[in-house]
Structures are given as structure tokens and as C-alpha cells.
A and B are shown apart, each in its own frame.
Chain A
Amino acid sequence: MDLAKYRALFLEEATEHLAEMSRALLALEKDSSSRDAIDEVFRMAHSIKGMAGSLGYDGLTELSHALEDRMERVRSAGRVEAGEGGLPPLFRGLEGLEAMVTHVRDTGEPPPAQPGLAAELAAGSDAPPGDPEPDPKKAPTP
């Protein structure tokens, strides 16, 4: 494998993907059930995971995989949960990925893992599929 060629491709695409992910997370701040934004974050994490795995960037693969899995659960729930357990961990995941990509750009070396961030995303308390949080705007069932 021509590592330099693929590293350059990775840096270009990962940077674009992270910018798109950031825009999608900002959209989710306004509308926590935006399907387009949820799908976008999921796909960007999936794509970064595939590239990172191909280059042997294990820490980056682990964190993007954790974010992808978290977004899969958000997809099933249909929305990002409100409060500290909802968007803040997703933004921290994005920041972690950005830091790792910057590390690759600056050093050319695989970035160190951030197991705490991956664990935080894995331990999310999103509602399981079929069991969304009650919508306060809806009238309670008698």
C-alpha cells in the first residue's frame, strides 16, 4: 500500500466528513429528530471508520465505531435525547475525532486512542428501539 497516497486521501476526506458532521450536529441542536442530520452523522462516522481501519489507525477506528454505534441507537430511537446525555457526548466525540485527524496531519503517525471518549459513547443512555421517551407535547393516554 502506498501509505503516503492513502494518508493524503484520508486527511482530505476525513476533514470534509468532520465538517459535515459538525453541521449535522448543529442541525440536531435545532431539531433533535432531524432524520437527515442523524443519518449524516451516522454515515460520516461509518466512512471515517472504514478509512481509519484501512490505515491501521486503531484508536480512530475505535472512536468512530463507537460514534457510529451510538448514532445507530439514535436512529432507532428517532431522535437525540434531551439533556447532558444527548448531544454533548456527540460533540465530544466529534472533537475527539478532529483531534485525532489533526494528529495524523501534524505527525504522520497513528493517533493515540481515547478510550474514555469511546466508552462514554458506548455507555449512552439513549432510549432503546421501540421505547422512546414520552413526548411532553402529546396528551397523556387516559
Chain B
Amino acid sequence: MKRVLVADDASFMRQMIRDIIEPEGYEVVGEASDGVEVIDKYLDLRPDLVMMDIVMPKRSGIDAVKGIKKEDPSAVVVMCSALGQETLVMEAIQAGAKDFIVKPFKPDAVVSTLQKVLEKSD
């Protein structure tokens, strides 16, 4: 079972991600609500994948990607963005994120994106 760390400052969105991916066989091993906590939890939990909002307090999602990739260049990070954030998404990809999903989430698209990036990283 693949282990996932979910980072979003809204518990609403973290719960929604859980409800989408847990029935598909993913284990949410931790949650983080800001860009500092997600790096700490990544180092502690070493998940297979991080799903991370692009806008977060303390450190932005882009900064947090850089922080995680600095500690673990093989880390797999998928950004959660919204329509109209294409520039930020491109920055996140350049910082090392593997892919992105767009809010509001379409469950099938979320699951297929996770499958795709994990297959590539195996």
C-alpha cells in the first residue's frame, strides 16, 4: 500500500483527499497544514508521495517542494492547484514537483495522476 502525506491549510481539503484516495488503496500516513510542517513530517514519515497545496502559510507550496527535494531528491510531490494558478504550477514543476491536480478535485483524475507518477517513480 502506497503511503501518502497530505498538506493543505484547510482540513476540508485534507479530508476530501483522504475520502478520495483511501478507498483506492492509498494510506494517508500524515497531514500537514503549512509549508514548514510538511517538510518536518516528510523527513519523519518518508511517505511514497506528497500531495501539497500550492498556497500555504509559513512557507509556500513551492518553497516546501524545494525544501523536500533538497533533503530527498527522489521525493515524489504532486501539487494541488486551482484554475488560474498556471504560473505557480510551472514554478512548482521547475522546483521538482512531478505533476499537479486542479481543484475542485475530480476523483478519477486524482487517482489516475497518483498512479501515473508512482509508476514513473518505481
Partners in one complex: yes
Known contacts A43-B57, A46-B55; decide if A54 and B82 are in contact (CB<8 Å): no
Q: How far is the CB of B21 from chain A (nearest CB, A)?
A: 14
Among candidates A1, A2, A47, A65, residue contacting B9 with C-beta atoms closer than 8 Å: A47
Per-residue A-contact encoding for B13-25, CB less than 8 Å = 1, 0 else: 1011001000000
Interface residues on chain A, size class: 20 to 34
Per-residue B-contact encoding for A33-57, CB less than 8 Å = 1, 0 else: 0000001001100110111011010
Does A98 belong to the interface (CB within 8 Å)? no
Q: How far is the CB of B56 from chain A (nearest CB, A)?
A: 8
Closest to A43 in B: B55
A51 to B8, CA, bound (A): 12
A92 to B46, CA, bound (A): 45
Among candidates A39, A43, A49, residue contacting B82 with C-beta atoms closer than 8 Å: A49
Q: How many A-B residue pairs have CB under 8 A?
A: 47
Closest to A8 in B: B12
Among candidates B11, B103, B104, residue contacting A13 with C-beta atoms closer than 8 Å: B11
Most buried by A among B11, B53, B103: B103
- Tell me whether B13 and A51 are in contact (CB under 8 A): yes
Per-residue B-contact encoding for A19-42, CB less than 8 Å = 1, 0 else: 000000000000000000001001
- Tell me whether B10 and A47 are in contact (CB under 8 A): yes
Does A120 belong to the interface (CB within 8 Å)? no
A100 to B112, CA, bound (A): 34
- Tell me whether B11 and A9 are in contact (CB under 8 A): yes
- Tell me whether A54 and B55 are in contact (CB under 8 A): no
Residues on B with C-beta less than 8 A from A50 are: 10, 12-13, 53, 82, 103-104
- Tell me whether A54 and B84 are in contact (CB under 8 A): no
Does B26 belong to the interface (CB within 8 Å)? no
Most buried by B among A2, A10, A46: A46
Residues on B with C-beta less than 8 A from A47 are: 9-10, 55
Task: Identify 6 residue pairs between A and B in the complex whose beta-carbon atoms are under 8 Å apart, listed by A's number.
Answer: A6-B15, A9-B12, A13-B11, A46-B82, A51-B12, A56-B104
Give chain B's interface residues, CB within 8 Å of chain A. 9-13, 15-16, 19, 53, 55-57, 82, 84, 103-105
> A2-B19, A9-B12, A43-B9 are known contacts; what are 5 more A-B pairs with Cβ within 8 Å?
A9-B11, A50-B53, A50-B82, A54-B104, A56-B104
